[in-house]
A and B are shown apart, each in its own frame.
Chain A
């Protein structure tokens, strides 16, 4: 009898663990890439907070602008002071939903192509965005990746005339998260 109860508890715990409703990470990655005539610009940030509700499909991201790091310190300084004004707007965020939430079985290993729609706030400006990506489940661990492009002008990020030819009007953004914590 004790054995049956023991195995029942183990089974219950493993099911609960595999199908935890909300998974999150505080160390996801966002990197961006901008092609420019003088030189390409890249930066990355490993301080991305993200929460995925596996039942409702709700997806949240929040990132500190000062957590983006560049190869050159002058680029980082200009990014923070002149373009993103990170003292005034210290965070960027996204709040949206995974469209194919019902097609994903989080209790089984698999890779699923998804679309995410929601509101992205950068530089104090909120815009509707839509992006495609992938959600993977492996041994109960959930990961997500996405790649999309944004226009700097859509977020009132002005480029001074002197360097206008050196900085692209759009940048490619890569998002990558392994949701290592559950609740």
Chain B
């Protein structure tokens, strides 16, 4: 009887340890969040910019590090120094945009086109008010849907 109890304890311990190790290993190696297959918080480019420019603290709590699905009109398409495609969406405020670092985009996309962009929101950049440079609201790991 005592031997059986010891065996049960040992087997239980091994099962728990294996389970713990597997979960830990999975959590440690888990890749980035799957933006492409997430629905995200739906919002217009104008409303997202307005949320950050009027109350950035509340907007940060609501949107930062979350996936947002932003609808807006493409202002500009370019590439940065690392050859990452950058798409900016108009916000209704001249010089301030929803600034999206693109992971995948359908081809072709054109300036002036209305699109949905899904990405992870980082917050609003501080810009340089003394020079009249407004801060953009940044999204990364973005996917464009027409």
- Seen from chain A, the residues whose Cβ lies within 8 Å of a Cβ on chain B are 22, 24-29, 44, 46-47, 49, 51, 60, 62, 64, 66-67, 69-74, 76, 80, 87, 90-91, 93, 143, 176-178, 180, 183
* Residue among A29, A47, A70, A90 making CB contact with B99, cutoff 8 Å: A47
- Seen from chain B, the residues whose Cβ lies within 8 Å of a Cβ on chain A are 27-33, 60, 64-65, 78, 80-82, 84, 86, 99, 101, 120, 122-123, 125-128, 131-133, 135-136, 138, 140-141
Query: In the complex, are the beta carbons of A22 and B131 less than 8 A apart?
Result: yes
Choose among A60, A67, A76, A176 the residue with the greatest number of B CB atoms under 10 Å from its CB: A67
* Residue among B30, B78, B125 making CB contact with A47, cutoff 8 Å: B125
Query: In the complex, are the beta carbons of B125 and A64 less than 8 A apart?
Result: yes
Chain A residue nearest in CB terms to B138: A47
Chain A residues whose CB sits within 8 angstroms of the CB of B81 once the complex forms: 25, 27-29, 143, 176-178
Query: In the complex, are the beta carbons of A74 and B99 less than 8 A apart?
Result: no
Q: How far apart sit A67 and B136, CA to CA, in the bound complex (Å)?
A: 13
- Min CB distance A17 to B, Å, is 18
Chain B residues whose CB sits within 8 angstroms of the CB of A49 once the complex forms: 125-128, 133, 135
* Residue among A24, A46, A71 making CB contact with B32, cutoff 8 Å: A71
Q: How far apart sit A178 and B81, CA to CA, in the bound complex (Å)?
A: 5
* With A64-B123, A66-B64 as contacts: A26 and B82 at CB distance below 8 Å: no
* With A49-B135, A51-B133, A90-B123 as contacts: A69 and B141 at CB distance below 8 Å: yes
Chain A residue nearest in CB terms to B78: A180
Query: In the complex, are the beta carbons of A27 and B80 less than 8 A apart?
Result: yes
Query: In the complex, are the beta carbons of A73 and B123 less than 8 A apart?
Result: no
Q: Secondary structure at chain A's binding surface: helix, strand, loop or mixed?
A: strand
Q: How far apart sit A60 and B28, CA to CA, in the bound complex (Å)?
A: 36
Query: In the complex, are the beta carbons of B133 and A47 less than 8 A apart?
Result: no
* With A46-B101, A47-B138, A49-B128 as contacts: A76 and B32 at CB distance below 8 Å: yes
* With A29-B81, A143-B81, A183-B131 as contacts: A46 and B140 at CB distance below 8 Å: yes
Query: In the complex, are the beta carbons of A74 and B27 less than 8 A apart?
Result: yes
* Residue among A47, A62, A87, A93 making CB contact with B122, cutoff 8 Å: A47
Query: In the complex, are the beta carbons of B84 and A27 less than 8 A apart?
Result: yes
Query: In the complex, are the beta carbons of B126 and A62 less than 8 A apart?
Result: yes
Query: In the complex, are the beta carbons of A90 and B60 less than 8 A apart?
Result: yes
Given contacts A27-B84, A51-B131, 12 further A-B contacts (CB under 8 A): A26-B125, A29-B81, A46-B80, A47-B101, A60-B128, A62-B125, A64-B125, A67-B138, A72-B32, A73-B33, A176-B82, A183-B133
Q: How far apart sit A90 and B133, CA to CA, in the bound complex (Å)?
A: 19
Q: How far apart sit A83 and B74, CA to CA, in the bound complex (Å)?
A: 36
Chain B residue nearest in CB terms to A44: B82
Chain A residues whose CB sits within 8 angstroms of the CB of B128 once the complex forms: 24, 49, 51, 60, 62
Query: In the complex, are the beta carbons of B126 and A72 less than 8 A apart?
Result: no
- Min CB distance A41 to B, Å, is 13
